[in-house]
Amino acid sequence: MAKINLLPWREAYRAEKKKEFVTLLGMVLIFAAVAAFGWDRVVNSQIDSQVSRNQLLKTEIAKLDKQVKEIDELTKRRQNLLDRIKVIQEVQGNRPEIVKIYDEFVRAVPDGVYFTEMERKAESISLVGFAKSNSRVSVLMRRLDASYKFTEPNLTKVEANDALGENGSQFEMQVKIVQPNTEQASDEASEGEA
């Protein structure tokens, strides 16, 4: 039998396969490196894009916050102006009321009674005055109670005082003012009963 030495051929085959493997491994490594670099660039590009979007959103949000603050300030100014207008309208509307109150006092105060102090607190008037007699104070209270502008006269203090004569007295009383809305409601109620 003839002996053929296949070692050199096997060695050459192995060397060729090893060279192919190393080349293939190198190509895979190069491809992996290129793919990793490409992936890194894509991811970094997306991160940069998202950072720029976030920055744009932050600047737009800051602009909107500034506009919201301006709107809030304008709303407050508007509300202040509306409140002022309401107060002015109430003052304008109530201007004749004080005249009506004094007119009603002139009609209700009997002879021999005069006031030294009048003080208004909200919808109540405190009165301090002198009368020639206690009966005149009673007449004053009845007239105030019958008046369309006043209600619930309450005598808080009566003292003898001879400033207007020997039966004279000094008195303090409070009376409530009837509101115009209450007047209208009472007028409507009386019309409904008739």
Is 6 domain-assigned?
no
Total domain count, the chain? 1
> Could you read off the pLDDT of 139-175 as tens digits, one per residue?
888 888 888 777 888 878 888 777 666 777 888 888 8
* CATH number of domain containing 154: 3.30.70.2830
> Could you read off the pLDDT of 52-73 as tens digits, one per residue?
999 999 999 999 999 999 999 9
Which residues sit opposite 32 in a β-bridge?
none
| Percent of the chain topping pLDDT 70 | 87
Nearest to 101 by CA among 66, 148, 149, 168: 149
Is 153 domain-assigned?
yes
The domain in which residue 181 lies consists of: 110-193
Distance (Å, whole) CA 14 – CA 26: 18
Average pLDDT of the segment spanning 124-130: 84
pLDDT grade for 89, boundaries at 50, 70 and 90: confident
